[in-house]
Amino acid sequence: MRPLAVVTGASRGIGKGIALALASAGYDLAGLATRPDPDKQSEGLYAVKAEAEKRGASFQVLAGNIAALDEHQAWIDTLLERFGRIDLLVNNAGVAPLERKELLDMSPESFDRVLGINLRGPFFFSQRVAVTMKKLLEEGREIEPKIIFISSISSRIVSTNRAEYCVSKAGLSMAAQCFAMGLASSGIPVFDLQPGLIGTDMTSAVKEKYDALIAEGLVPAQRWGTPEDVGRAVVALAQGGFDYSTGAVIEIGGGMGVQRL
């Protein structure tokens, strides 16, 4: 029986890269998106579903906003009814500010929106999934559960024109540490993956700016990262070789976060 991976924000960008990498690695998938549209077969979550199924995966579409805490248990119940298991949770769903504003101009509304989706929602969804994983283990189910948080290099590198995003990712990184310590004795490894500059639709608006910075040496690897780079890292963690490294923080940034003189 194929293990089941839950990927939030799976309809595009990094989430799509993760979902397809896991499908190729032998996982069934549950993909969450805010507004999946079955009429859109060339893009969005149903396009990801079709690609995953070509790779042999069963795929459950989950519709909803990760910030809506009262929806979380219904998603879990749907997965248990269909698959009877949850082996991997990848907390990838996240948003940028609707408008980049400097620190002193940022609004409470923007702060609350970003923190609700990027931190509060993933924290409490992880809480419910972790409770479910522990219960499955206690019942003797043959699962090897893991939780991966996709935070960001922005958890450590400041952008004052999107402070709410940086704060949310710093909080998510600490959430990963808390869950790693809280679940270690239960045999549930937890990891924090921190992407750097990844080429997606979220970063397309600033591509020209960062193209120039990459050329000037911002990224030692001298290129943008790709969703596939993140997907390969998720698969490596999911396959169990790093289970004793629970709590590990892994940058996927081409060396961007390494301090240099």
Say what the pLDDT of residue 199 is: 92
- Hey, which residues does 88 pair with through a beta bridge? 5, 146
Say what the pLDDT of residue 128 is: 98
Say what the pLDDT of residue 12 is: 96
Say what the pLDDT of residue 203 is: 85
Domain annotation for the chain: domains and CATH numbers: 4-252 (3.40.50.720)
Say what the pLDDT of residue 22 is: 98
Among residues 194, 191, 166, the alpha carbon closest in space to that of 252 is found at 194
Q: Catalytic site residue 27? A: no
- The pLDDT averaged over each successive group of 10 residues in the chain (261 residues) is 96 97 98 90 93 98 98 98 98 95 96 98 98 97 96 96 97 98 98 96 85 94 97 98 98 95 85
Candidates 46, 165, 210, 244; catalytic one: 165
Say what the pLDDT of residue 124 is: 98
Say what the pLDDT of residue 41 is: 82
Say what the pLDDT of residue 201 is: 81
